[in-house]
Amino acid sequence: MAGTVRNCRKTSTVPKRPFESARLDQELKLIGEYGLKNKREIWRVGYTLSKIRRAARELLKLDEKDPRRLFEGNALIRRLLRIGVLDESRMKLDYVLALKIEDFLERRLQTQVFKLGLAKSIHHARVLIRQRHIRVGKQIVNVPSFIVRLDSQKHIDFALTSPYGGGRAGRVKRKRANAGSGEAAEEEDEE
């Protein structure tokens, strides 16, 4: 029996002009600042942002009292509030159009782990996440691009099984401890 059926769809779009120096410089700056692996990670966020902005533009075309605009507009704003991209003071569709890629990159687990001081650098944060040292609530998350909700933010911590979180010591530390106890036993035998 096969696993669950998943729909495959585009997750990012490539820029129309491949060699635009201003855009290339800006992308490289973002990659360095947020510790991203490649340009596609930026394009993926840009693609989700463009879909959100397109939805907001469509809703803004409708009449203010239109039930579809009220219902879908509130749903969109509530979703953005929950992930922490919008704040309470900017609960209007006009502010959705003003969102930037950086707003979404700030909400990534990788950025949050670094900002909380669990990692020495943004790159160290990515390594910790990939090596399953970080949990959100009770769940270990090993995806650096995981978008952290506002209510989950206070539950980011080291995993209970991780050596950083008071779990079993790492392989090298255990090996050294065993070697150290072995040497101590040999010294006692000699005496």
Q: What is the pLDDT along the chain (191 residues), one digit of tens a residue?
A: 567 898 999 999 999 999 999 999 999 999 999 999 999 999 999 999 999 999 999 999 999 999 999 999 999 999 999 999 999 999 999 999 999 999 999 999 999 999 999 999 999 999 999 999 999 999 999 999 999 999 999 999 999 999 998 888 889 999 999 998 877 666 666 65
Residues 26 and 67 in one domain: yes
Distance separating alpha carbons of residues 181 and 177, to the nearest angstrom? 6
Residue 62 lies in a domain: yes
Q: How many residues does the chain have?
A: 191
Residues 69 and 89 in one domain: yes
User: Which residue range(s) make up the domain with 92?
Assistant: 21-105
Residue 11 lies in a domain: no
Number of domains in the chain: 2
Last residue of a domain, one of 48, 81, 105: 105
Residue 15 lies in a domain: no
Determine how β-strand 156-158 pairs with β-strand 139-140.
Answer: unpaired
Residues 100 and 113 in one domain: no
Residue 14 lies in a domain: no
Residue 175 lies in a domain: yes
* Cβ contacts of 100 within 8 Å, gap of 6 or more: 49
